[in-house]
Amino acid sequence: MLKNKYLLIACVFYMLFSCKTDVPINFTETNFTSENNQFVEINIPLAQTESDVAKSINTAIKNQVIKALQIGELNNSTAKSVEESIENFNQEFTNFISDFPESAQEWEAQIDGEVIFKAQDIISVSLTAYTNTGGAHGSLNISLLNFDAATGKLIDNNALFSDIEGFKTIAKKHFETSIKDKDLLLDRETFQLPENIGYSDDGIILLYNTYEIAPYATGIIEFNIPFDDAKPYLVFNRF
């Protein structure tokens, strides 16, 4: 009896200790700029603890921002920080004006982010990047990043689902419903999941960026699959 009592006390202390060491991940909107910045505005959510989980999440978000500001081939990027990528973007404009002094074009870049879903096991962040570097029109791109809340690591789209082919089947039905009133020239027999999939309070978001499956004029195609339909195929936040 006494042995069982001590065992119970030990379990209670273990539970209390576990709760105290489980640091919640909270986010704060953070603005980035640089000393010589003229054209770039960045407002993104960053995790506000010093844990390895928060550092992993923040690194992935910052890397996505650096990628969005890269001019030219991504493999040629030299920026090691968001501030450096801002400086590089401004320097590229200076180089452009040096080559084309008669141009009246001004460049711009706007990157905004928000936490669109946060649960015990998964966190989803949306980053919207608009850049204009003098072309016929600017470029708008939305990225959905999913993080394992326990590790802070990015989750590959395939790892979101226990049965990706089953999910793909219901996704196609919702996709067809979402575009039924739109005049789109698409090959509907070769349906593919988009590059960007994320969680929201209303269910699973599927988002095709411009040019991903349709011409520029079509714009972004986005639709939502309610949790009640998606849950049988999900690995995270099933209950």
Where a domain ends, among 140, 155, 170?
155
Q: Which residue has the tokens 């590790």?
A: 151
Q: Are residues 133 and 173 in the same domain?
A: no
pLDDT (tens digit, 0 to 9) for every residue of the chain, 239 residues total? 444 444 444 444 434 433 334 557 899 999 999 988 999 999 999 999 889 999 999 999 999 999 999 987 665 667 899 999 999 999 999 999 899 888 888 899 999 999 999 999 999 999 999 999 987 788 999 999 999 999 999 999 999 999 999 999 999 999 989 888 777 766 666 789 999 999 999 999 999 998 888 777 788 999 999 999 999 999 997 65
Q: Residue 10: what pLDDT?
A: 43
Instruction: Provide the whole-model pTM.
Output: 0.85
Q: Are residues 135 and 237 in the same domain?
A: no
Domain hosting 62: range is: 25-155
Where a domain ends, among 125, 155, 185?
155
Q: Residue 137: what pLDDT?
A: 80
Q: Among residues 176, 168, 170, 127, which one has the least CA distance to residue 147?
A: 127
At 162, which CATH number? 3.90.640.20
Q: Residue 211: what pLDDT?
A: 87
The answer as to whether 170 is a domain residue is yes
Q: Among residues 110, 78, 90, 92, which one has the least CA distance to residue 35?
A: 90
